[in-house]
Structure 1
Amino acid sequence: MSKAFGARLQDAMQAHGPLCAGIDPHRGLVESWGLSYDVAGLERFALTCVEAFAGRVAAVKPQSAFFEVFGSRGLAVLERVLTELRASGTLTILDAKRGDIGSTMSAYAEAYLGPDAVAPPDALTVSPYLGYESLRPAIDLAEENGRGLFVLALTSNPEGAEVQHAVRDGRSVAASVVEGAAGDNAAALPRGELGSVGLVIGATVGTAVRDLGLDLVAAATPVLAPGFGAQGGTVDTLAATFGAARHQVLAASSREILAAGPDPSRLASRAAQVAESLLR
């Protein structure tokens, strides 16, 4: 690829607004569309989302678990979703939160980020809680192939703070993750680009970014902020949470947009409305 993932994401956010539309085909949503909760219903749901979002939003984030629940047939649907979005030129972020050590992490990296991956996303969410450097196989392979990562840093679930806010030698776990990403993004900062190692920080984490002293601007990190819309995140909370780094934030919204289904034109319209609201 001619451009690194961070630069491509920056271009997509400027072109379409800073919205990442989620594809979360959990039972309640699938059935609310009048579809059966089986592989056929999954496929209809997911491909309707592709039709609605392709070429219209900065990025699309399928949640892998909701496809995996149907085994190999569900994964085949996920591969088709990723392939069709890629063909449309729309960036994809696969939400799979992989994280392990050694040869296992290398295998996860090859599966999703390698040159021979069956249906590679543009970026993958990963978990750093075996240590940031445990992600090195994925970080290096993503860079080699023009892809990116989003590393969990601050999540909005109540239990997250037990780990993410924990302090060792005067530094929180979240801060160590940000510092790791900053090191890997160092080359992008002088060019005024976003790096290709992003962070996942919930849209509803309140003052945690400020309280923990996280300098997201200096780290040049794109930020994936789930929880916008139905989960309580607003334009005002994004501004308060991220401050000077607000322009780096890709807000993720699933339920608020997917509730407009099953008509693809209504889904597309709702996504456009949400993207427009994020520009205020």
Structure 2
Amino acid sequence: MTGAEGAAHFGTRLAAAMQAHGPVCVGIDPHPGLLGQWGLADDVDGLRRFALGALDALGGRVAAVKPQSAFFERHGARGVAVLEEVLASARDASTLSVLDVKRGDIGSTMAGYADAYLRDGAPLAADAVTLSPYLGFESLRPALDLARRTGRGVFVLALTSNPEGAGVQHARTGAGSVAGQMVDGAAAENASVLAEGAGAGLGPVGLVVGATTGTAVRALGLDLAAVRGPLLAPGVGAQGAGAAELAEVFGDARAQVLASTSRGVLRAGPDPQALRDALAAAVDAARAALTS
């Protein structure tokens, strides 16, 4: 379901998918431990059987899938070829793909990354990608602009739950906290996109905000609702974030949250029905946590 020139932008398509299938994104993370749990070897054949098996079971039933590029890249060129298959299969299943690459660079190099993941017809084109803005939010401009032209989206790292992230993201400058600058940048991009259309709904520029970041959002004075874009939230469910934690982190922005889960669903495999049951349970839990 990648976009094309003039297509409905990613935020509109994601909102529709969340309404239809629930606010859950399933990460396709074929790390060695999960391959072993599925009885598969840690090689390209095991990678392919795992990734396509998960997509066959869940495609058309989930708001989005999120392949983690690193677990494909570690197998070299043949692993990247499997990633191409996964993205093509997601399109065939009319399932949105968020490619988790966390790329970030400057100038022509950033333009190259944008071309790889956000250009119509690119072998690795996805509906959205994750981006790292820590060379400055404006360093992402090539990706922001190409995503806007092709109806795709981006998720910008803003407030992650790893302990090391706080030293950078919580730091304050004359313009406020580093995380706050990412929030403001995303909000400005979405305001511009939405001003061209109906002026309502989700914009195509999302943020990655860990569901287990606790009081950091309030302590840093971040207005996540003002972003008017999707909030990709790792940490819901298996990693401990329930209704209380989501209310603390996201507050009035909970309707924008796309809860990300991987092992919580994938460890139920390889049986397709078991995967679907695990997805249904994750969706029920996310809906309850985000509306309570």
The TM-score range, normalised by the shorter chain, is: over 0.9
- Displacement after TM superposition at 1:191 (Å): 2.2
Structure 2 CA distance, aligned partners of 1:72 and 1:233? 36
- 2:11 is equivalent to residue 3 of structure 1: no
Residue of structure 1 equivalent to 2:61 = 56
Q: Gaps (5+ residues) in structure 1? A: none
Q: Of the candidates 151, 159, 167, which is equivalent to residue 154 of structure 1?
A: 159
Structure 2 CA distance, aligned partners of 1:162 and 1:221? 25
Structure 1 CA distance, aligned partners of 2:269 and 2:239? 18
Q: Which amino acid aligns with 1:163?
A: V
- The normalised TM-score by structure 1 is 0.97
Structure 2 CA distance, aligned partners of 1:64 and 1:170? 33
| 8 A contact 2:65–2:96 mirrored in 1 | yes
Structure 1 CA distance, aligned partners of 2:276 and 2:104? 33
Q: Of the candidates 186, 194, 203, which is equivalent to residue 188 of structure 1?
A: 194
Structure 2 CA distance, aligned partners of 1:124 and 1:37? 25
Residue of structure 1 equivalent to 2:114 = 109
| 8 A contact 1:188–1:220 mirrored in 2 | no
- The normalised TM-score by structure 2 is 0.93
Query: Which piece of structure 1 moves more, 223-232 or 200-209?
Result: 223-232
Q: Which amino acid aligns with 2:223?
A: D
Residue of structure 2 equivalent to 1:30 = 35
- Displacement after TM superposition at 1:230 (Å): 2.2
- 2:88 is equivalent to residue 83 of structure 1: yes
Q: Of the candidates 104, 107, 120, which is equivalent to residue 125 of structure 2?
A: 120
- Displacement after TM superposition at 1:115 (Å): 2.2
- 2:173 is equivalent to residue 165 of structure 1: no
- Displacement after TM superposition at 1:170 (Å): 5.4
- Displacement after TM superposition at 1:116 (Å): 3.4
- Displacement after TM superposition at 1:240 (Å): 2.1
Q: Which amino acid aligns with 1:245?
A: A
Q: Of the candidates 245, 251, 256, which is equivalent to residue 248 of structure 1?
A: 256
SS in 1 for 2:34: helix
Structure 2 CA distance, aligned partners of 1:235 and 1:29? 27
- Displacement after TM superposition at 1:119 (Å): 3.3
Q: Which amino acid aligns with 1:183?
A: A
| 8 A contact 1:56–1:272 mirrored in 2 | no
Structure 1 CA distance, aligned partners of 2:65 and 2:228? 21
SS in 2 for 1:191: coil
Deviations 1:173-227 (A, max 9, x none): 0000011111100042762211101000001001111111111112212100012
Q: Which amino acid aligns with 1:188?
A: L
Moved over 4 A (4+): none
1:255-270 matched pairs, under 5 angstroms: 255-270=263-278
SS in 2 for 1:124: strand
Structure 2 CA distance, aligned partners of 1:156 and 1:107? 29
Q: Which amino acid aligns with 1:60?
A: V
Structure 1 CA distance, aligned partners of 2:38 and 2:47? 11
| 8 A contact 2:194–2:203 mirrored in 1 | yes
Residue of structure 1 equivalent to 2:285 = 277
SS in 1 for 2:100: strand
| 8 A contact 1:203–1:241 mirrored in 2 | yes
Q: Which amino acid aligns with 1:38?
A: D
Structure 1 CA distance, aligned partners of 2:123 and 2:172? 40
Structure 2 CA distance, aligned partners of 1:22 and 1:170? 34
| 8 A contact 1:235–1:277 mirrored in 2 | no
Residue of structure 2 equivalent to 1:134 = 139
Residue of structure 2 equivalent to 1:143 = 148
Structure 2 CA distance, aligned partners of 1:218 and 1:228? 22
Identity %: 60
Residue of structure 1 equivalent to 2:246 = 238
Structure 1 CA distance, aligned partners of 2:237 and 2:247? 14
SS in 1 for 2:287: coil
RMSD: 1.1
Structure 1 CA distance, aligned partners of 2:212 and 2:54? 25
Residue of structure 2 equivalent to 1:69 = 74
Structure 2 CA distance, aligned partners of 1:193 and 1:205? 26
